[in-house]
Structure 1
Amino acid sequence: MQFAVIYRPLLSLFCLFVILSPSLAQAFSSSECIITMGYRTSERRPFIEQEPSNQGFYRDIYQAAAEKIGCKLRVVRAPKLRILRDLKLGNVDFYPGLHFSEERAQFAYFIPNGLSERYIGISRAGAASINSLAQLSQTGMTLLIAPGSYDFNGISKTMSVRKPPELDVPKALDYLLASQGDFFIYDLATLNYYLKNRDISQFQLHPDCCQQPQAMYLGFSKKSRHFRALQNPYYRANLPLSPDNIPSVLAEDSKAYEFARALAIMDAEGETQRIYFNHFG
């Protein structure tokens, strides 16, 4: 009884100390490994659906990779510019599909996820065939692009551009048909998915406008607590910066390295492709 009388005040004092010390409370729960994926609020089926389900290829592949290294996947949704800001700050660990650029390479490390992608153009039916971004600029057509989206290493300042907030594929197709934009550039696989439920005769595809097939990358935050890098002995400063030619490489004792290695093994063993076909057919 005397022990209980002494113990209760001590317990109360400890609880108060934890409440007033968030860093201490975090330390008690830091043993659990959580990798946070940030993505914009709009969906991109079949890669990712709206909240709260977040179902799709992204969740399945990255959840599988996280589990292989003893971690859990958490998904956070917000407008893309906010997610990119949080990626810079390390508030989210990675963005699931991020185009490489020298600007983004300052705050993100690019890891292949095992897929390839090809960005093509789409317009209303009857438009002139577009085979390059330079040609698009010369036609006077208005390009639809989401704020924070990849700009294909520089869109001409003379090009007419419209940036509706949280632009996704269904909205872009509606804008085209309503003549509130003339041209939209997006991943071929995703466009094909949404065009299955549209009258394809209303649109024209421009497969040679923008990009050859290339590897698909996630962008891992360099400010993440899971990230640590070492100097890359194979980096060549006289060559252009690219995912394969960067000044640093992942340290093998980091969770980011383990995550990248898990994705590489999934790709080599065919697991990535099985997950892909489950969603894309």
Structure 2
Amino acid sequence: MKSTLVAQPWLGALLLLMTLQAPLANAFSSSDACVITMGYRTSERLPFIGDEPNNTGFYHDLYQAAADKIGCKLNVVRAPKLRILRDLKLGNIDFYPGLNFTEDRAKYAHFIPNGLSERAIGISRAGAADIRSIEQLVNNKMTLLIAPGSYDFGGLPDKIQIRKPPELNVSKALDYLLTNQGDFFIYDQTTLHYYLNDRDPTQFKLHYDCCQSAQEMYLGFSKKSRHYRGRHNSNYRAENPISPDNSPTVLAPDSKAFQFAKALAAMDSQGETQRLYSKYFG
């Protein structure tokens, strides 16, 4: 082989070029594969998503099915919520599976219906006064438990007492309530009912009219994602507040984000989302 390369130097150069190109070709083929990354906090939210590194649950099944329909794979990244929201802003992850809308978040995330509805209710220890508004927490000198980076329910009263334990989840919140390390917690009604199945319900009191009426649930898709592309929304009305239905931009039809949203809408209209929901929630 050595004498051949000396006699024909162009052959050696060709072999060297082929050797260098082989790994590059493999790298390009893997990077060109469509992967959509979902980010979520490290703590669980059963039955939506299990604890890290167990990502199984409703969210995984729903978004994996939608990704499959558009020829993509679903990747899941877990980290503290504040870090996940930062990565959503930067485009390091593509979407957060259940994100409450705010105008600030709308600057970096496009809100896509996921086919579910949600309603935030309150929970306290048994025997607490009836709470029909968040403002009543101030008058009753009750401490609100809230996770860092979570939704503030449209704004909290100035004098409200707040406690923000790190990586707060439903199970931990219920423990905090029972040990008098907090007095009130606000979360999705369906999820609270799920966790109370394994608790003594006589220890708690649910407050259904405190916080939020039933509303559509959204995922937040990063506007910095390589799968996102927006275009002007001709139906946008600047005189009205920005909302998921009144955004200056809409998804461009040639983007993966648009295809992902379309797949989720089809799953909802065809009953596939509801079947998955029944599998996990009964």
Structure-2-length-normalised TM-score: 0.93
Distance verdict in 2 for CA 1:230–1:176, change over 3 Å: same
Specify the alignment match of 1:152 in structure 2.
153
**Displacement, 1:133?**
1.1
Specify the alignment match of 2:176 in structure 1.
175
Q: Secondary structure at the match of 1:30?
A: helix
Specify the alignment match of 1:142 in structure 2.
143
For 2:111, give the aligned amino acid.
F
Q: Does residue 73 in structure 1 map to residue 74 in structure 2?
A: yes
**Displacement, 1:51?**
2.2
**Displacement, 1:14?**
5.0
Larger-Rg structure: 2
Q: Does residue 198 in structure 1 map to residue 199 in structure 2?
A: yes
Gaps (5+ residues) in structure 1?
Answer: 19-23
Q: How many residues align?
A: 275
Specify the alignment match of 2:96 in structure 1.
95
Q: Percent identity?
A: 66
Specify the alignment match of 1:133 in structure 2.
134
Specify the alignment match of 1:164 in structure 2.
165
1:1-281 equivalence runs, <5 A: 1=1, 2=4, 6=13, 9-11=16-18, 27-281=28-282
Distance verdict in 2 for CA 1:165–1:26, change over 3 Å: farther
Q: Secondary structure at the match of 2:137?
A: helix
For 1:91, give the aligned amino acid.
N
**Displacement, 1:53?**
2.3
Q: Secondary structure at the match of 1:175?
A: helix
Q: Secondary structure at the match of 1:262?
A: helix
Q: Secondary structure at the match of 1:29?
A: helix
Taking the aligned partners of 2:27 and 2:37, their CA distance within structure 1 comes to 16
Taking the aligned partners of 1:27 and 1:154, their CA distance within structure 2 comes to 47
Q: Secondary structure at the match of 2:38?
A: strand
Taking the aligned partners of 1:202 and 1:12, their CA distance within structure 2 comes to 69
Gaps (5+ residues) in structure 2?
Answer: 6-10
Distance verdict in 2 for CA 1:135–1:26, change over 3 Å: farther
**Displacement, 1:83?**
0.2
Larger deviation, residues 149-158 vs 58-67: 149-158
Taking the aligned partners of 2:134 and 2:147, their CA distance within structure 1 comes to 17
Q: Secondary structure at the match of 2:83?
A: helix
Distance verdict in 2 for CA 1:155–1:118, change over 3 Å: same
Taking the aligned partners of 2:117 and 2:230, their CA distance within structure 1 comes to 25
Q: Secondary structure at the match of 1:109?
A: strand
Q: Secondary structure at the match of 2:59?
A: helix
Taking the aligned partners of 1:9 and 1:234, their CA distance within structure 2 comes to 57
Structure 1 stretches of 4+ moved >6 Å: none
How well do the aligned residues superpose, as a CA RMSD in angstroms?
1.7
Distance verdict in 2 for CA 1:30–1:14, change over 3 Å: closer
Taking the aligned partners of 1:26 and 1:246, their CA distance within structure 2 comes to 38
For 1:84, give the aligned amino acid.
L
User: Deviations 1:76-107 (Å, cap 9, x if unpaired)?
Assistant: 00000000000000000000000000110000
